[in-house]
Structure 1
Amino acid sequence: MQQAGFLDQRAKLGGRVAVVIGGGGGIGAAITLALAGAGVDVALCDIDGTELEATVKAATATGRRVHGDVLDATDPAALDAFYDSVTTVFGHADIVVNVVGGTFRTAFMEIDRAGISADIQRNYGYVVQSVQRAVPLLRAGGMRGGSIVNFTTIEAHRGAATFAVYAGAKAATTNFTRSIAVELGKEGIRVNCIAPDTTPSRGNQVAMPPEVGARFANVRPEAIGEAMAMYIPAGSSPPVDALADAVLFLASDLSAFVSGMTLHVDGGTMAAAGFLDWPHGDGFVPVPLGGTTPLMFPGEDNT
């Protein structure tokens, strides 16, 4: 208990106000509940009314003030209306987390212009609007400065074939975060990114084409786990709570001098940069060697 009290004293999260864009389900719900559990009042919005209602109820049970609105954060008018309501209810904010994002897997030349615009808006455009609306709330806070956390992705840092527009939009969010961190630094407003990779979220499931999802339905769960262990150096996908913990760190005074940075919460996949832990004795190499290759391509001359 003494150790927990010591960390709480250093983090200084209790009594602060957070805004979570996309805080109703999945990763966003884990973040909302982690903040509320740390003594933070929370305003959240989400497109899914059922999930938002459940998260608001759970967050309220912690004893914190909670305000929730159902809306599509990629709709500029709806997002403005939400920030207006946050201003009315709380008057200020200390923490802002932009979680909303998502995409679909398809070849670039097969995406129509409406799809391109939608991908850019939900992964970059709304973030710019949210930050611009958030800064006055942070300036109005009782404490100097504040923390903005934008969700980006590992795909912003590598060539993501069949996710080109998404990767480009997330890269824009990453560099926007760096730039605005520099611009707002002297006000004590810190701006950082969290870059997940594969996580057990609804967004990752939706990103798969139906035919890919159908093929996964016929794969043993153990086999999927073994495949993830090959890809992720940590051996498994980070749970949503690991992302929530990263938000708590970046939102708190434990990261008081961290700004303009991207925190990769991915179990080491960014560090691995394509090195997979192949089975059958091949180990960590970019492509399978003599142990795995003959099993992948049976009947061929692999000598």
Structure 2
Amino acid sequence: MGILDRRGALEGRRAVLIGGAAGIGRAVALALGEAGVDIALCDIDDEGIADTSAQLRALGRRVLGMHVDATRPDQLAQFYEATAGFFDAIDLLVNVVGGTRMQPFMERTQRDCADDIQRNFGYVIESMRHAVPLLQRSGRGGSIVNFTTIEAHRGAGGFAVYAGAKAATTNFSKAMAWELGPLGIRVNLIAPDTTPSAGNAAAIPEPWRSLNADVPHEWWAKAFQMYVPLQAPPSADDLANAVLFLASDLAKSITGQVLHVDGGAAAALGMLRWPYDDGSTLPVPMGGTLRKLFG
């Protein structure tokens, strides 16, 4: 066992993972499993639940996998009841579920807005309400990791309600870090930006989705070189690594913080590396790009 394993001390711990069947959630589940964590996970993707659970069992982990719509309070309560019967206590909660689709606010219905709020904030409240007593049972505190987004930290046109809901999750989590601190329960957040996943692809509406379908991969790579300071978006495994850190004793004095796992996009705040020999990193392109675009 290396120094990171010894200091991280995740071996033998128990986690609840809300949204662990595919994409980022699956990467988190497998990373935790490889670190020696037993997992209760839920999702609406039955095939994904079965596949992720099988991979975790192959690692020697104890696994509870259930079909649950986390946005339904009754189903979430049933999942936590089953989890309490499966584990006597838990050490970690990761709330991954979230998402939306890009659409101007005035085109969204009241139902659309309510769904965005529940999917990106409301269920987090209920999940933490159920999880805290199970975390307390461990007698050694615990760690909660909630997923927010870069959109919670900027004006995100086309994602207004989603951005507002994620901002609510962010501030709620910070407030809960203060409230739960005396119990030894830490609460932190991970804020991704664009990450290659089916969920992010689904958020793009028509006709953009069709227009993007035949764009060569190398064009996307060049676009990210313009936008992301580290030249590429983070992978699902990069986000899983951040969860491992915040969940582990390596972060035992960190709570109430937002960890931006975005290749530096949040730090850049709109600065772009424009092409066509501009050499400019300003938000507005210079002459070379302007001539290519409009000349």
Shared fold, TM over 0.5: yes
RMSD over aligned Cα, in angstroms? 0.8
Is it true that 1:267 corresponds to 2:263 in the alignment? yes
Runs of 4+ in 1 over 3 A off after TM superposition: none
AA partner of residue 284 (structure 2) = V
Alignment partner, residue 5 of structure 1: 2
Partner deviation per Cα, 1:189-242 (whole Å, 9 max, x = no partner)? 000000000001111111000211100013222111111111111111111000
Q: 1:48-87 to 2 correspondence within 5 Å? A: 48-87=45-84
Kept after mapping to 1: 8 A contact 2:149/2:190: yes
Partner deviation per Cα, 1:148-190 (whole Å, 9 max, x = no partner)? 0000000000000110000000000000000000001011000
Partner of 2:232, secondary structure, is coil
Is it true that 1:161 corresponds to 2:157 in the alignment? yes
Partner deviation per Cα, 1:104-154 (whole Å, 9 max, x = no partner)? 11111111000000000000000000011000000011x410000000000
Alignment partner, residue 277 of structure 2: 281
Counterpart Cα distance in 2 of 1:35 and 1:197: 22
Counterpart Cα distance in 2 of 1:81 and 1:236: 40
Counterpart Cα distance in 1 of 2:157 and 2:210: 21
Counterpart Cα distance in 2 of 1:294 and 1:145: 59
- The counterpart of 1:208, out of the listed 200, 204, 212, is 204
Partner of 2:215, secondary structure, is coil
Is it true that 1:217 corresponds to 2:216 in the alignment? no
Partner of 1:285, secondary structure, is coil
Kept after mapping to 1: 8 A contact 2:276/2:292: no
Q: 1:18-167 to 2 correspondence within 5 Å? A: 18-141=15-138, 143-167=139-163
More moved, 101-110 vs 214-223: 214-223
The normalised TM-score by structure 2 is 0.98
Q: CA deviation at 1:281?
A: 2.2
Counterpart Cα distance in 2 of 1:21 and 1:218: 33
Counterpart Cα distance in 2 of 1:36 and 1:177: 25
Q: Identity percentage over the alignment?
A: 55
Partner deviation per Cα, 1:254-299 (whole Å, 9 max, x = no partner)? 000000000000000000000011112223110110111111113x
The normalised TM-score by structure 1 is 0.96
AA partner of residue 59 (structure 2) = T
Counterpart Cα distance in 2 of 1:6 and 1:190: 22
Partner of 1:225, secondary structure, is helix
Alignment partner, residue 190 of structure 2: 194
AA partner of residue 39 (structure 1) = G
Is it true that 1:255 corresponds to 2:251 in the alignment? yes
Is it true that 1:231 corresponds to 2:227 in the alignment? yes
Q: CA deviation at 1:36?
A: 0.5
Counterpart Cα distance in 2 of 1:61 and 1:39: 12
AA partner of residue 91 (structure 2) = D
Gaps of 5+ in 2: none
Counterpart Cα distance in 1 of 2:168 and 2:16: 22
Partner of 1:278, secondary structure, is coil
Partner of 2:2, secondary structure, is helix
Q: CA deviation at 1:79?
A: 0.5
More moved, 266-275 vs 288-297: 288-297
Counterpart Cα distance in 2 of 1:257 and 1:165: 33
